[in-house]
C-alpha cells in the first residue's frame, strides 16, 4: 500500500539532534502522532536515556519534550509502498527533503531508529545533508528481544551524549 507521510517535522531553531524513523506505523497513523503505538517504547526509552520523566501521552506534551531538550523528530521517508508496519516490505522509497529543517536549526547529529531507517537515510539522504546517520536500535514491538540487552540502552545513551556535547561545546565522538 502506498503511504505518504502526514506530518511535518518537530523542530525549532534550537534543535541540535535529529531522530528519524522510517515511516509512521498504522497504529501511529491512527493515533495521529509519532510513535503513537502504545506498544512502541520510544518515549520511555528516550526519557530513560536522558534521565528525564516520560512526557504525558498527548501530542503537545511530547512535542514540548522534544523541543525543550533540543531534539528534532521526523521520518526518513516522504512516501513508500509498505505492508503494515514492516520496514522489510518497503518498496519505492522517496526521502523527505531535510534542507529547510537543517537550515533553520542547529542540528549537527542525526540518529536513526532501526536498521532500515539507517540504511535508507545513508543511501538516500547523506549525500545532500552531509550528516551521516548513527544507528539506534528500534523501539518497535517487533524488536522486544533486543530491548532488554545492555547495548540497547547504551546505544540510546548516545543521544544524551550528543546533546551534552552540543550544550558544552565539546567534540562529540562515538565510543
Question: Annotated catalytic sites, by residue?
Answer: 40
Q: Determine the Cα–Cα distance for residues 29 and 22; give it in Å rounded to an integer.
A: 13
The residue assigned the cell 523542530 is 11
List the Cα angle 173/174/175 in 5-degree steps. Answer: 110
71-75 and 91-95 as β-strands: parallel, antiparallel, unpaired?
A: unpaired
Q: Give the SS3 label for residue 12.
A: coil
DSSP string across 96-164: ---HHHHHTS---EEEEESHHHHHHHHHHTHHHH---EEEE---SGGGHHHHTSHHHHHHHHHHHHHHH
Amino acid at each position: 500500500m502506498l503511504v505518504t507521510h502526514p506530518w511535518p517535522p518537530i523542530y525549532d531553531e534550537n534543535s541540535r539532534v535529529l531522530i528519524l524513523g522510517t515511516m509512521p506505523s498504522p497504529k501511529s497513523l491512527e493515533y495521529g502522532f509519532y510513535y503513537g503505538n502504545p506498544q512502541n517504547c520510544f518515549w520511555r526509552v528516550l526519557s530513560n536515556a536522558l534521565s528525564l520523566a516520560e512526557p504525558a501521552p498527548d501530542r503537545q506534551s511530547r512535542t514540548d519534550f522534544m523541543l525543550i531538550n533540543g531534539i528534532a523528530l521526523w521520518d526518513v521517508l516522504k512516501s513508500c509502498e509498505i505492508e503494515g508496519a514492516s520496514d522489510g516490505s518497503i518498496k519505492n522509497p522517496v526521502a523527505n527533503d531535510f534542507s529547510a529543517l537543517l537550515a533553520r536549526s542547529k542540528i549537527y547529529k542525526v540518529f536513526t531508529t532501526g536498521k532500515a531507517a539507517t540504511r535508507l537515510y545513508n543511501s538516500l539522504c547523506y549525500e545532500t545533508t552531509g550528516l551521516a546517520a548513527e544507528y539506534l536500535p528500534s523501539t518497535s514491538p517487533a524488536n522486544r528481544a533486543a530491548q532488554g540487552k545492555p547495548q540497547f540502552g547504551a546505544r540510546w545513551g548516545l543521544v544524551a551524549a550528543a546533546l551534552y556535547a552540543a550544550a558544552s561545546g565539546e567534540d562529540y565522538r562515538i565510543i
